[in-house]
Structure 1
Amino acid sequence: ERIAGSKRVVCDKYRSNHTCSDSHDEYDYNDTYGPFASWQGCVEVRPYPYNVDDTPASGGPNNTGIGVGDPATMFVPMFAPDEPGNHWKVTQDPDEPNPVTYGAANSWWNDDPSSTTGKTRQSNMAKYFMPRPIDAPVLSKGAGPNYSCTT
């Protein structure tokens, strides 16, 4: 959340007499946490033979997943991982270049800049603990963790 009264002007370019010729506004923010996307209901396919029959899910007593039951009958929520690339700008500087997507179809969260390859960018779990900027674009239906979910 933007902190009230925290606006400050940051000079981007100075004249020869040391006065500012080009600037932008910046604000301080408090990190707030909440869901970035909601689960849209897709599940992974159950293993054979449960993928071709109507066996009810059995996760033990009261379907808690604890005790007697067959975990293979359970439905696992499907979440698509973030692919390499960045989804939003990381500074408030209007001259910052647009985010690089590396051609990935489902880049919905910014990568850790210390990750150097597509594989390490995709598998780095630490990125999910960074807060999303307030003005970051909202995900459309079927995008982000719900990529390829057609329900």
Structure 2
Amino acid sequence: GPVIGDNHAKTQSAFSTCALNLAANDAVDAVYIPMGNGASPDNFYYQIKPLIDRKLPIFSQTGENEVQMGALMALSNADLQASGEFEARVIERIVKGEKPEMISQYYYAPLNLCLNLETARLIDFKPSFDLLIGVDLVFDRIKK
């Protein structure tokens, strides 16, 4: 559905409809939510609740905000400032005369692994000890 666009009411409605359709589809065993403006910052939990009720793990590309609001996990860029600084240094080198094709464009972002323990409990997911020691940020309840 049109989950990305200028009309936020339309994209958020489409996102909610998509979540309902995925929850009703028996072939779905997990859901990955990419960045977009269909996920409502105010009603995210209620948008994904049909997926949680179906006990589906939900992974967020956006990161900790969506995990705090009910997604099970996210592995996302921990620091967008560092990414911006990397790109600024590349631009500076170009402005000083270096050819862009001679400058590495590989940026290895520091990543954060986030986990919501209340969501894990609701979907009957028991994280292993190995997973728990790798988690950078844990939420013990869903922010509704």
TM (norm. structure 1) is 0.24
Structure with greater Cα Rg: 1
Structure ranking higher in helix proportion: 2
Structure ranking higher in strand proportion: 2
